[in-house]
């Protein structure tokens, strides 16, 4: 059984000019020890998906459909107080900007120890001892000395390590990491990613890694969900999605990324831009920019369907009528 099951989740923002559907009927699952990458351009709904799962949707956003199961139990309809106990203890979160996560008035040791005392019910002395251990785990040199430092006394990369320690110290089963390395330089980014990967592998923690950087996904994730205009357009094993993408959007996205290989002439580009939430076209949201568009795309919305080694929400992979009839006979 999966650790996290998101089933047909929709998130809506009621506004004066009508309801905006920011997430539209998305489904995916994460198993224990698995790293699921969630990738997409800004406004595609990646961060919103993470926020919905940990119950931190900003008003007026609300879950308007579907459900979220964590360890087999629904968590999307829990009262605030109960959700708060799960958050931190069972589900940890890492955000892009470490400064907003850390309290500037407390030493990092106190923040770590307090988190563990609350969630694990251990004594202060024990919590402090473990806090030193966590700082060492995430690669902070001389943790016995640094434990009494304040967040501002750390550099950006070190601060992000503290945030990771803070997210992991209560030993959650699931970590939601929203752009954990975006604010960092490449050399630090590599250190943080190696750390996250090692912790997932060693502790069997499930990780939902939200990022716009396909390179980070390629190196870290087992599977990847590609989002576009509030929907998942492709979902599959990471190597497959990167090397052999099925959905025309994923294909365009992959081709538009400059690589360190041979210098190419022109980069492939997808014309236009992602639609605004207030103007998502009917049918497939990518249809106005899609080079392979045909009549059905503008009329009927595609759901995820098998497409080679991945699943893609694209009518190109619709079973033909003959196949569908065969399927029905087979099951009937």
Partner 1 sequence: MADRVPLFEAEHVTRFFDVSRPWLQRVINGEKRRLLRAVDDVSFTIGKGSTLSLVGESGCGKSTMARLAVGLYAPSHGAIRFEGEPIAAARAEARQRRRMNMIFQDPYASLNPRWRVARIIAEPIRAFGLLRGARAIAARVAELLAQVGLQPSDGGKFPHEFSGGQRQRISIARALSSEPEFLVCDEPTSALDVSVQAQILNLMRDLQRRLGLTYLFISHNLAVVRHMSDRLGVMYLGRIVEIGPAEEVFSTPRHPYTRMLLDAIPDLSPDRMMSGRDRTPIAGEVPSPLAPPPGCSFHPRCPLANARCREERPAYTPAGAILVACHAVAEGRLPA
Residues 6+ away with beta carbon under 8 Å from 311: 234, 235, 236, 304, 305
| 33/215 with CB nearer partner 1 | 215
Closest approach of partner 1 to the CB of residue 309, in Å: 15
Q: Six-digit token pair at 217?
A: 């996904």
Backbone angles phi, psi at 198, to 5 degrees: -65, -45
3-state secondary structure of 173: coil
Closest approach of partner 1 to the CB of residue 158, in Å: 8
| 98/172 with CB nearer partner 1 | 98
| 64/149 with CB nearer partner 1 | 149
| 37/92 with CB nearer partner 1 | 37
Question: Greatest CA separation found in the chain?
Answer: 70
Closest approach of partner 1 to the CB of residue 241, in Å: 11
| 53/221 with CB nearer partner 1 | 221
Residues that bind partner 1 (CB under 8 A): 41-42, 155, 157-158, 185-191, 193-194, 197, 212-216, 218-219, 239, 242-243, 252-254, 256-261, 263-264, 266-271, 273-274
Which candidate, 129, 231, 140, 126, places its Cα nearest to that of 192? 140
Which candidate, 84, 87, 138, places its Cα nearest to that of 108? 138
Closest approach of partner 1 to the CB of residue 318, in Å: 25
| 194/324 with CB nearer partner 1 | 194
Residues 6+ away with beta carbon under 8 Å from 23: 9, 10, 11, 45, 48, 49, 52, 230, 231
Closest approach of partner 1 to the CB of residue 42, in Å: 6
Closest approach of partner 1 to the CB of residue 82, in Å: 37
């Amino acid at each position: 059984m999966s650790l996290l099951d998101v089933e047909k989740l929709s998130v809506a923002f009621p506004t004066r000019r009508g309801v905006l559907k920011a997430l539209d009927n998305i489904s995916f699952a994460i198993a224990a020890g698995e790293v699921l990458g969630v990738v997409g351009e800004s406004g595609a709904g990646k961060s919103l998906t993470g926020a919905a799962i940990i119950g931190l949707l900003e008003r007026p956003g609300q879950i308007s459909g579907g459900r979220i199961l964590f360890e087999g139990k629904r968590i999307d309809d829990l009262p605030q107080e109960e959700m708060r106990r799960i958050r931190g203890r069972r589900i940890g979160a890492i955000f892009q900007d470490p400064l907003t996560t850390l309290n500037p008035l407390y030493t990092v040791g106190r923040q770590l120890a307090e988190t563990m005392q609350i969630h694990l019910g251990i004594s202060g002395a024990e919590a402090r001892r473990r806090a030193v251990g966590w700082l060492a785990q995430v690669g902070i040199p001389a943790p016995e000395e640094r434990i009494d430092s304040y967040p501002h006394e750390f550099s950006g990369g070190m601060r992000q390590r503290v945030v990771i320690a803070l997210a992991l110290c209560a030993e959650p089963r699931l970590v939601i990491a929203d752009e954990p390395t975006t604010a960092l330089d490449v050399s630090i980014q590599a250190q943080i990613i190696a750390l996250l990967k090692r912790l997932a592998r060693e502790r069997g923690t499930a990780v939902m890694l939200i990022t716009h950087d396909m390179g980070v996904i390629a190196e870290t994730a087992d599977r990847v969900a590609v989002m576009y205009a509030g929907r998942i357009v492709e979902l599959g094993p990471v190597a497959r999605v990167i090397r052999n993408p099925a959905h025309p959007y994923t294909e365009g996205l992959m081709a538009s990324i400059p690589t360190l290989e041979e210098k190419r002439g022109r980069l492939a580009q997808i014309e236009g831009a992602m639609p605004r939430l207030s103007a998502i076209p009917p049918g497939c949201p990518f249809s106005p920019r899609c080079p392979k568009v045909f009549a059905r795309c503008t009329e009927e919305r595609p759901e995820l369907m098998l497409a080679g080694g991945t699943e893609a929400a694209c009518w190109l992979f619709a079973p033909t009528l003959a196949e569908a009839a065969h399927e029905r006979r087979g099951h009937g």
